[in-house]
Chains A and B, each alone.
Chain A
Amino acid sequence: MNEIRPIQEEELLAYVDNALDAERRKEIDAYLVANPPVAARVDKYLAHRQALRDAYDPVLQEPIPLSLNLGHMLAARRRRVDKPWRMAAAVLVALCIGGAGGWYGNESRNDPYASGIASLAREATASFQVYAQDPDRPVEFDAASGPELTRWVSSRLNRTVQIPDLRNAGYRYMGGRLVATEHGPAGLFVYDDAHGGRLAMLVRTMAIDRDTPMRPHQEDGVSGYSWADKGLGYSVVASASTTGLHPLADEMRRQVRAEHGPVL
């Protein structure tokens, strides 16, 4: 055998972990052939390394649990961090509007964000962020309790409310809840797709803007489409990165308009 540098114990470890250069690896291969007891020990190292991987590699294939959804965690943090200055900004805006109102009379009455369809959109956005994006408990009534929820929401709104069926569009109805808005009770219905993407529909009665064509809106990373029919306002909202929200909103509007639309 050619003369080789003495074998270091840590090179045997590196051999097991495939961390040697090819030349040294070859030398150690030859050394192991000539030294069966050491070779037996190295074989055991290799077998244990492989068995550990066999035991734990299946974890890599598991779907990531909801609680570890990084997107949700980032969104939740952004909301927490944004809150203080956002509230300060809102106060400032309110003061400015108030001040301007003093100067310009009743201008603020025409502020599109004060009421009507715009406040519906804002309320839907808030409900989406607080409830629909909650990783643990987005809904209070699960999908199976749909009829119970629609009865309750219908009685609170004093109007018949239906839950649109989006299965053909790839969204499953997860469930919903009754939520509070500045303008009274509202129904919130939450859906998700196969990748965990969520959207929600908020419905409440409208005092003004009782019949309004669909209009898009986006605020705070949430986009949506809102409209009103015969005194019932609807807002369909999802994370701003969601694609194809407009046709989904159209489909929901079609279903709630149909006299005998599908009811879950």
Chain B
Amino acid sequence: MFQQVEPMIPALRRYARALMKERDAADDLVQDCLERVITHWDDRRSSGDTRSWVFAILHNLAMSALRKNTTAGIRQVAIEDVAESLSTRATQEDGLIYQDLLNAVDTIPPEQRSVLLLVSLEDMSYAEVAKTLDIPVGTVMSRLSRARDRLVRLLGGARQHAGPAATLRRVK
């Protein structure tokens, strides 16, 4: 169990961070997830893919946590925290671009956002995402498509074609 789950922890933290934004909230979620994984390890379907099972637990915890705090105030603080946590190698301009992107991602409905993140960040196959979220593959595709189109509408292709200042204006 240890050998299977421990290597997943960095990726679990990444997914939780992308959903929750705030570092402590994300890590609390991962901790809850690991507790459940430990408790229910023997109950999982042995045929099932462990990664999907673990991510499904985390995902369900995240969704109920997000439902609890959807107030705008919390979101606003959260984005600043993210900018801070990304400070390492990002120049200020990069920071602005990230922030625009993260703001835009935040406006995507959670059920689409999680598909986008699992595919883009975790490199899950569409079938694996379907299994994790317990939805048909067709639904995965349509949510992914809507999430990506929304980002295009909100951000344009500013990253390559325009400077960060232009990006900022377009979003605000």
Contacts and interface: CB of A to CB of B under 8 A. Distances in A.
Interface of A: 9-10, 13-14, 16-17, 19, 40-41, 43-45, 47-49, 51-60, 62, 64-65, 67-68, 70-71, 73-74, 77
B170 to A, nearest CB: 13
Given A47-B157, A47-B160, 13 more contacts: A13-B148, A14-B126, A43-B157, A44-B155, A45-B148, A49-B120, A51-B97, A51-B101, A52-B120, A53-B120, A59-B17, A73-B35, A74-B2
Contacts of A58: 85-86, 88-89
Interface of B: 1-2, 5-6, 9-11, 13-14, 17-18, 27, 30-31, 34-35, 38-39, 82, 85-86, 88-89, 94, 97-98, 101-102, 105, 116-117, 119-121, 123, 125-126, 141, 144-145, 148, 151-152, 155-157, 159-160
Given A47-B160, A51-B159, A52-B121, A64 B31 contact: no
Nearest to B28: A67
A41 B121 CA distance: 20
B10 A64 contact: yes
B127 to A, nearest CB: 10
Given A17-B119, A43-B157, A10 B30 contact: no
Nearest to A77: B38
Contacts of B10: 59-60, 62, 64
Contact of B9 (A10, A53, A57, A70): A70
Contacts of A19: 125-126
29 contacts: A10-B141, A13-B141, A17-B123, A19-B126, A40-B157, A43-B157, A44-B151, A44-B156, A47-B157, A47-B159, A51-B98, A51-B101, A52-B120, A52-B121, A53-B121, A55-B98, A55-B101, A56-B17, A58-B86, A59-B14, A59-B17, A60-B11, A62-B10, A64-B9, A68-B31, A68-B34, A70-B2, A70-B6, A74-B1
A19 B119 CA distance: 11
User: DSSP majority for the A interface?
Assistant: helix
B95 to A, nearest CB: 10
B34 A70 contact: yes
A67 B27 contact: yes
A16 B148 CA distance: 11
B160 A43 contact: yes
Contacts of B6: 70
